[in-house]
Amino acid sequence: MGKQNNIKAAFRAAFPFTIPIFAGFLFLGIAYGIYMRVSGFSAIYPVLMSLTIFAGSMEFVTVDLLLGAFNPVGAFMLTLMVNARHLFYGLSMLDKYKNVGKKRWYLIFGMCDESFSINCTAEIPENVDKGWFYFFVTLLNHCYWFMGATLGGLFGSLLDFNMEGLEFVMTALLVVIFLEQWMKEKNHVSSLLGLGLSFVCLVIFGSSNFIIPSMLCILGALSLLRNTLTKKEEVLS
């Protein structure tokens, strides 16, 4: 009974953090399912892809890959480029996912931008098992995306739907997550550093190629300044 109570407590603690994600994933997932249908695929495609791939931007790209010529090497390289940011997410979560048992395999598979943001910054109550908290955040976000993609796949062929502008839903959501983290911070150096380096990389590399260079720069800068930032955080707290 004790273990069941711990699991339930972790679910109750994790669920409120994922409510904003639900709105974004549901509508964007529906748009993805509709996009698959209008591209000529049956409903089973968005259903299975949302379960097994669970990488929103890559799932949209996969539509073009499936419609194009067979090129596994090109598909692999494109996937690596699109999802390269997860390499940095994974490095930053090594300590948090170190002692969660077998759940880490699903946590690794299910890591997305939104789950990373929550699991990285959430203040977990002391009486809640962190491993189960991380698990339910990841699982709930996965379910939201699956639900949206399934609905869009099932009903997409019945709707005359203009998807223009829907991709901004997740951008707005990530901005809100950033602002929430900003308000929690006592020292904004790391956030300002991230914004500044991203802007510089945007100017240098352009909007299509700046993400990976900016992440490399941010990772390097934060690694070099880690001790200094930690000391400042301790002083402010």
Angle of CA points 141, 84, 122, to nearest 5°: 40
pLDDT for residue 157 = 65
Asked if residue 1 has pLDDT above 60, the reply is no
Percent above pLDDT 90 for the chain: 30
**126-185 pLDDT, tens digit each:** 889 999 999 999 999 999 999 999 999 988 767 665 656 655 655 665 677 677 777 777
The tokens for 12 are 């109750």
**23-56 pLDDT, tens digit each:** 889 988 888 888 888 888 999 999 999 999 998 7
Asked if residue 103 has pLDDT above 90, the reply is yes
CA distance 58 to 149: 14
CA distance 18 to 14: 7
